[in-house]
Each structure stands twice: as structure tokens, then as C-alpha cells.
Amino acid sequence: MKGSEMAASPVRHECPEALLVLADGTVFRGRAFGALCAEGTVATGELVFNTVMSGYQEVITDPSYAGQVVAFTYPHIGNYGINAADEESDHPQVRAIVVRDLVHRPSSWRAEGNLEDYLAAHGLGGISGVDTRRLTRHLREAGAMCCALGVADEATLHAAARAEPGTEGQDLVGSVTTKTPYRAGSGPLSIVALDYGIKRSIVAGLAAHATVEVVPAATPASEVLARHPDGVFLSNGPGDPAALGGLVDELSQLLAKVPIFGICLGHQLLASALGGSTYKLTFGHHGGNHPVKRLANGVVEVTSQNHGYAVAADSVSGADVTHVNLNDGVIEGLAVPAMRCFSVQYHPEASPGPHDARYLFAEFVRMMQGAA
């Protein structure tokens, strides 16, 4: 439907009606916004839901969401606008967003613009007015799946959704990793961070303790070791860890030679290098409220999470499970003290989310200092 046809009714009709169609044929109605307003513009990707109530900008700019369309369960998105300080990378990484209500008039002393303009400026958009709760309930049962959305007919979108490869078996790291190494921080310790799609807040978290050199994901182990780092960090990133065998092989070369700390995809790759295997979760963990138990002291951390894959239980025989998710028992942390490496599935850097697990950065520092 064209914009002009909507003029008869003056209430919030500035955007054309749009559809969101899932690979299984389920259809949701709403209105397009941003770049998707243009008729025939279709976004596709693997559709996941995220349950954070604040922090949409961090989510949208998190490289781990490359290849995905994110549906927010909280209905009002865009309340406090967007600002440069909250970006987790230099541009939005999602393919599109799905919301119940897109807020056009943000209110915050921090706001530098509104969300729709920001997405549109990057050629992105989404669909609003969607019964996102119905969508969430559907994904919860049917599992994460591919989707297509835009101002187009159902058949076109369904076909596009089905043609979308999704993340399974996909190497998406190459599309988000840095092309050239860069430095951050100035501490006496030095860390080489392998960038599989690293968030800025992780770089900042490491840089608060050490000099960090962020290097492309494909940097060979020999080159990493040649830098004589006090520690190696394995970053978060998008996609299926099982498709990253080459990276795992390089990682294996680092084991026991240098202290290693991994987060999210970094955790999955470390587990793989230790001989473990990964699997796809039905609908993943995407939110800021997941309880994780730190087995060493029994304390519960409320954590920020964003992953669709997880390390299979008992697949990593040589490692200690250090953290578990209390909702579903998923392995959230591993450590091999003898090899001076550890990793967590969740996000201690938060952004968005609670700061309960920031101690892990200090723990990595202690491990590196023990090695020094």
C-alpha cells in the first residue's frame, strides 16, 4: 500500500503497511520504518528476540548480531534516542529490527538523534506495530528461524525468508572483524585481542587494565605469539562456531602457551579448541536478566547474554565448568587452570545489561600477572 492511500486517516500513518514473514510461513503485520519504507525493499536474516528493556542501541550495534533481525520484547523502543557513546561498533550490525512501538520523539539529555533516522542513515529499518509477544511465543516454541520483512507481498517475503541461509554453518566473522590491527589502553600488561566481532565495551574493559592490540580474527597463532602478549583475548562474534574450524585450529596453537580469556563466541571457540563441541539452542539467550551461578562460591550473577549456540555439556572433558545458567543448565563458563585459560558464554562487559560479572576482567589480569 502506498503512503498516499493512507492519508485518509491521519493517525500515525506516515509509514506504509509492511509484513514480517517467517520461514515457516507465519505472518505478522505492522508498518515499515526507516529504509524499509521504500516499497520492495526487503530485509532478511535469522530472527531472534531480545528481552532487554533498555540498551537497544548497544544491541543494534553489537557485531554478534550480524546476519540477524532482532525483535525487542519491550514494546517502546527508541525512548531515549541514540548517542555515539552507546555504540558497540561504528554502525548498526543487525539486518533490521522488529518492535511493537517505535518512539519518534526521544527524551534524554544524552540523545543525539532518534532511532529511526539513525537506522535510515545506515540504510536500515524495520517494522513496528507488531504483536511482538506473539512473535516471541512463536519463536520460543518453533525456534529461531529466518525471516523477511518489508513493504512487499506475503509470497515474495516468504520466498525471501526461505532463501535466507541463516546462521547455521555460516562463517559471519569475516564480515565483522577488523581489517587492520589497532591499539587501545596503556597498561604495562599487553593483551592481543582476536576480533571475531568485538564490542567496544569489551575493548574498553580490557584497556582499563592493559595495553590491548585488537587483531583480525584470522591472525595466525604464530603472529599472535610473536607479539609476546601477557594474555590473549578471544572476543564475541556472530554466527555458528562450528563453521570456524580454521580459527579453532589456530587457537589450539595458543593453548597452554599464554593466558587466554574468551567471551561468547570466544568461549565457544576455546571450548572447541579444547576438544568440545557446540550445538544450536532452540531460541538462544538474548537479554540482560539471565541468572548464572558461579560454582566456585555459589554466587548468582545476573548476566547479559547474546548467543544462539552453546557448548555441549560433557563435551569438554579437560575443562572445569565454572558457571552454569540457572534457567536451563547451559554451560556458561569453563576453565583449564593448568593451561591458564578460561571463558564465559555470557557478557561480563554488559552493555547493555548488569555489571555483576565485571570481576572477570580483573581475574584475567591476575592470571596474566601470575604468568608474568
CA-to-CA distance for 112 and 356, rounded, in angstroms?
Answer: 29
Nearer to other proteins, 267 or 285 (CB): 285
Half-sphere exposure of 40 (CA within 13 A, CB side): 0
Residue 175 interacts with other proteins (CB under 8 A): yes or no:
no
**Largest Cα–Cα separation, the chain:** 72
Residue 143 interacts with other proteins (CB under 8 A): yes or no:
no
Nearer to other proteins, 51 or 369 (CB): 51
Nearer to other proteins, 355 or 366 (CB): 355
Q: Are 32 and 125 in contact (CB under 8 A)?
A: yes
Residue 142 interacts with other proteins (CB under 8 A): yes or no:
no
Amino acid at the residue 223: E
CA-to-CA distance for 242 and 272, rounded, in angstroms?
Answer: 8
Q: Is 104 a catalytic residue?
A: no
Q: Is 250 a catalytic residue?
A: no
Amino acid at the residue 350: A
Residue 282 interacts with other proteins (CB under 8 A): yes or no:
no
Q: Are 260 and 290 in contact (CB under 8 A)?
A: no
Q: Which three cell numbers stand for residue 17?
A: 503497511
Site for other proteins in 33-72 (CB under 8 A): 49, 51-55, 57-58
CA-to-CA distance for 5 and 306, rounded, in angstroms?
Answer: 40
Which one of 200, 209, 290, 307 is in contact with other proteins (CB under 8 A)?
Answer: 290
Residue 329 interacts with other proteins (CB under 8 A): yes or no:
no
Buried b (16+ CB within 10 A) or exposed e, 267-300: bbbbbbbbebebebeebbbbbbebebbbeeeeee
Q: Which three cell numbers stand for residue 208?
A: 582499563
Nearer to other proteins, 7 or 371 (CB): 7
Within 209-349, residue ranges assigned H as helices are 221-226, 245-252, 265-273
Residue 276 interacts with other proteins (CB under 8 A): yes or no:
no
Q: Which stretch binds other proteins (CB under 8 A): 146-154, 223-231, 246-254, 299-307?
A: 299-307
Give min distance, CB of 22 to other proteins, in A.
13
Kindly state the number of chain residues that form the binding site for other proteins, as judged by CB under 8 A. 57
Residue 108 interacts with other proteins (CB under 8 A): yes or no:
yes
Which one of 2, 91, 137, 183 is in contact with other proteins (CB under 8 A)?
Answer: 137
Q: Is 37 a catalytic residue?
A: no
Residue 302 interacts with other proteins (CB under 8 A): yes or no:
yes
Q: Which three cell numbers stand for residue 90?
A: 561504528
264: left (phi over 0), alpha (psi -120 to 50) or beta: left
Residue 2 interacts with other proteins (CB under 8 A): yes or no:
no
Q: Which three cell numbers stand for residue 124?
A: 536500515
Amino acid at the residue 172: L
Catalytic residue among 15, 37, 146, 264: 264
Which one of 3, 24, 39, 83 is in contact with other proteins (CB under 8 A)?
Answer: 83
Which one of 121, 163, 299, 313 is in contact with other proteins (CB under 8 A)?
Answer: 299
The site for other proteins (CB under 8 A) is made up of: 9-12, 28-29, 49, 51-55, 57-58, 73-76, 79-80, 83, 85-86, 100-101, 103, 105-110, 131-134, 136-137, 140, 287-291, 293, 298-300, 302, 326-327, 350-355
Residues assigned a catalytic role: 264, 347, 349
